[in-house]
Amino acid sequence: MSALFAALRISRRDIWRAKARSALIVVMIGLPVLAVTAALTIFATRELTPEEQVPMLLGAADARLVDTGESRPIRQDVLGESWEPYGERRAEPRSQERIQALLGQGARVIPVRSADEEYSTGGRYTPIGVVELDLRDPMTKGMFPLIQGRYPRSADEVVVTASRNVPVGATIRYTRRGVTKHVVGRVVEQRTEYGGSLIGLPGSLLPASSGGSGTDDAWLADLPAPLTWAGTLRLNQAGIAAMSSAVLADPPSVGKGPGQALAFHWGGTAWTTSGMVSAVSGIVLAVIEVVLLAGPAFAVGIRRRRRELALLSAQGASARHLKLVVLADGLTLGLVAAVLGPVLGVGAARVIAAVMGIWPAGELGPFEVPVGQIVPVAVLGLVSGVAAAVVPAVQAAGTDAVTVLAGRRPTARDRAGRPLAGLVLLTAGTAAMLYGTVSIEAWIYLGGALGLLGLVMVTPWLVRWIGGLAGGLPLPLRLAVRDASRNRGRTAPAVVAVLAAAAAFSTVAVGATSSVATGERHYRTGYPQGTTVIYGDDVPKETWERIRPLVAEVFPRTTPLATYQALDGEGGALDFALERRSCRKCFTLWGPLGTLPVGGPDLLRLLLGRTDRAAEVALAEGKVVIFDPAVVRNGEVRLAVRRLPVGGEKPAVTMPAVGATVQGPALVLGVAPEAAVTRAGYVPGLIGFIVRPEDGRPDPERERRLSEAIRVITPDVTVTTAGSVDSGRIDPTLWVMGALASLVVLGGTLAASGLAAADARPDLDTLSAVGARPRTRRAVAAGQAVFVAGLGVPLGLLVGLLPGFAMASQSVVQRNDYREVGFNGVAYPKLEMVLSVPWLPLVAVGVGLPLLAGLIALAFARTGVTLTRRLG
């Protein structure tokens, strides 16, 4: 222990003397700790725990009761948010009187009803969550704090949450019936199911409960005694789920036994084998990168402290003691980074939270510091600091006191790495990543960690091999390359650090562009490729008549095809879908035409891609043409009716129908004639126009011209062309990753250049003594930087291609798993992987970063000559 304390004292004095170098190491170790700490704190603050949601959901009430619609007993979770069994809803929901009777004497309940509806401030209708609740009741205190105005006092008054940006005093049209409501206040946005809401008094916004109105019925209860878990179980027997502050304060056990609660998920992610492998691999990658970045900086300290270490050795210090001195540097600086990183990270998170706002003033929850998550991150920073000092400590143990004290440069040992072991790890990493393309994503991270370790072992041999090829280079570059080859102990870590950063950028770039290319290959819309659709909701017929000549002007040799959509009696848009039945041929998705567009023979020919006389005759007779004959039974098809965009359900309808065969997946369910919509009790309403150019190719320029012309008339109409994908746009993620990779590359390169300049100072002084100009010294420094970045960046970009392809393939696997679920019971066609490499960004990074590093080194290289005296 005495040796350790002595080493710590020596380390403390050296750190204080070399403040700049020490600060650089602290930044390299502490910056990742700071970033992760800030992110964890923001995530914890944003995530609301059940206890933090109590004021939002319960206010000052003791409990919140929910009618599950079950006529049999249920089992619920602790929060009352999920329950089982699920069954058919009763025809009539429970009344407030029934709930009052279940709670017993002394209890008081008030209703809370919610649903989705629409409102308008004068233009098109906008979906909004609607809540019926008397906010003047003391039981609701804290649920919706006022920002401005007052709470509603009459049925024609409402308040809106802050995100809606509707001013106090405004008059809105509520629902398609155009009911007038006056906005008398603005309230705080909730982070719960009531967020983004329009709130009015009970009975003023929603129809009376009927069991199928699409409303959620709940009650707030003020009880004479706390609602315990035993009381909750009694309510469960009657099909009522409950959330109470008493149960949250003393939750029951979770399980399947009698009296136990259902398992519930709240924030976080359960640790699985895949998650643990991914986390461990990520930690290994992070530690390796920090070691590779900070290791050369520690090596700089060893070069500068060579004489001090030699004096310690001359006074009796053993190799173990010299190792301990250098490891003490890593321990001390790692401890500083482990303390400052979390402190500054929490401070940064506090500033971010202040800007974003803490509830009720903003969207974040109460400020929370996840100490249990931050401590392991700080420990990881400390371990990274010690690990970064291991290799320099081994180098320090071999200090030749006689050579150093005599003023001579120690002879560098031939460290060629362990190329065979490195190749084995590279092979294992490659195999793991390839396996990850068809298995779980964790294998890709594991393969990346193994591959990086392999590169650490192989790179010294690669540096030595390249050094042997420097004979034909100009003198400055030849000196730089051979110096790097002789001092592989400091060159190889910098090269691998730069390589890892470039590989990360390449991985993200290839993964992102391959994902986009895959999406473009399988791009589907509700209308054929090259077709231009002009569509909009709540657009008057007179406006469409003004738009029609604009369409004809931009597309002079085509006839705009009018398209319709079913509207209910209030003018709300409707869509049709198969009821409880799969369509084997239909690739149904929501688009401008809906799932089942309304139109005539022209629309049928456009969507079918050919002429089908029998189908056109049936359409003229008022029959629906379905693109999968198998779902037509006895000349009819049963269709569910959905209200758009709020999602309310209408009674299902049966329409006469015929089937039409299509090749491949159909883009929509079929085509419905106007007569069938009218017979179903709805009104066909004009929704827009469709234009199919003669060549069938997308024309973004004409789309832009038409859109600008229509925007002068109304902002409620959209123009889009199928297939007009902007393939040339570079994903913003690539710019962010490019910037981060550039910082790491420049930092590692310049640190290695500084170390090289310190090591090569006697040689450069000798070079100046024999007549070399200052620009030669600058050229040597630039050559050293170009060698590190020029070797690491291109090699890293190539190495990153494989994990990029693996990540893209794994993404397609996951998307295909999701697409098997499909929409409306219809499985989507599987995606086929498309590999794409963004050559322009990769070439720009591969060429630009080494040149930039060389220019920086050229500009800031020291050219002064230090007079030295050599002995022996």
Residue 850 predicted with pLDDT over 90: no
ω before 645 within 30° of 0 (cis)?
A: yes
Asked which of 286-295, 469-478, 587-596, 633-642 is least confident by mean pLDDT, the reply is: 587-596
The pLDDT value recorded for residue 619 is 92
What gap in Å lies between CA 518 and CA 809, rounded to an integer? 10
Share of the chain above pLDDT 90, in %: 11
Same domain, 756 and 829: yes
Same domain, 586 and 616: yes
Same domain, 692 and 812: no
Q: What is the tally of structural domains in the chain?
A: 4
Same domain, 717 and 569: yes
The pLDDT value recorded for residue 824 is 43
- Residue 684 burial (CB count, 10 A): 19
Same domain, 57 and 188: yes
What gap in Å lies between CA 140 and CA 151, rounded to an integer? 12
pLDDT tens for 721-778 read 765 554 445 556 566 666 766 776 777 677 667 666 666 666 666 676 666 677 777 7
Same domain, 17 and 95: no
Q: How confident is the model at residue 149 (pLDDT cuts 50, 70, 90)?
A: very high
The verdict on residue 256 lying in a domain is no
What average pLDDT does this structure show over 357-382? 79
Residue 380 is part of which domain span? 1-43+275-411
Residue 576 predicted with pLDDT over 60: yes
Amino acid letter at 200?
A: G
Residue 330 predicted with pLDDT over 80: yes
Parallel, antiparallel or unpaired: strands 63-67 and 240-244: antiparallel
Residue 627 predicted with pLDDT over 60: yes
Residue 673 predicted with pLDDT over 90: yes
The pLDDT value recorded for residue 67 is 84
Q: How confident is the model at residue 822 (pLDDT cuts 50, 70, 90)?
A: very low
**594: Cα separation from own chain's centroid:** 29
Residue 269 predicted with pLDDT over 50: no
The verdict on residue 204 lying in a domain is yes
pLDDT tens for 410-460 read 655 555 668 888 888 888 888 888 887 777 777 887 888 788 888 888 888
Which residue's entry shows tokens 């004021």?
Answer: 55
Between 277 and 210, residue with greater pLDDT = 277
Same domain, 5 and 37: yes
Residue 819 predicted with pLDDT over 60: no
Residue 293 predicted with pLDDT over 80: no
What gap in Å lies between CA 505 and CA 514, rounded to an integer? 14
Same domain, 705 and 847: no
Residue 574 predicted with pLDDT over 90: no
Query: DSSP assignment of 92-143, as one string?
Result: SPPPHHHHHHHH-TT-EEEEEEEEEEEEESSSS-EEEEEEE--TTSGGGTTT
The pLDDT value recorded for residue 63 is 92
pLDDT tens for 522-543 read 655 666 777 888 888 778 888 8
Same domain, 510 and 646: no
Q: How confident is the model at residue 359 (pLDDT cuts 50, 70, 90)?
A: low
Instruction: Please state the pTM of the whole predicted model.
Output: 0.64
Same domain, 680 and 738: no
What average pLDDT does this structure show over 315-329? 79
Domain final position from 249, 265, 290: 249
What average pLDDT does this structure show over 375-389? 84
Q: How confident is the model at residue 170 (pLDDT cuts 50, 70, 90)?
A: very high
What average pLDDT does this structure show over 636-662? 83
pLDDT tens for 179-229 read 899 999 998 877 666 666 899 999 898 877 644 456 778 899 999 999 999
Same domain, 489 and 582: no
Q: Which of 341, 748, 815 is nearest to 504 (CA)?
A: 748
Amino acid letter at 96?
A: Q
Same domain, 497 and 559: no
The pLDDT value recorded for residue 258 is 78
Residue 507 predicted with pLDDT over 80: yes
Report residue 435: phi and psi, to 5°.
-65, -35
The pLDDT value recorded for residue 763 is 66
The pLDDT value recorded for residue 676 is 92
The verdict on residue 403 lying in a domain is yes
Phi-psi region of 104 (alpha: psi -120 to 50; beta: other; left: phi over 0): left
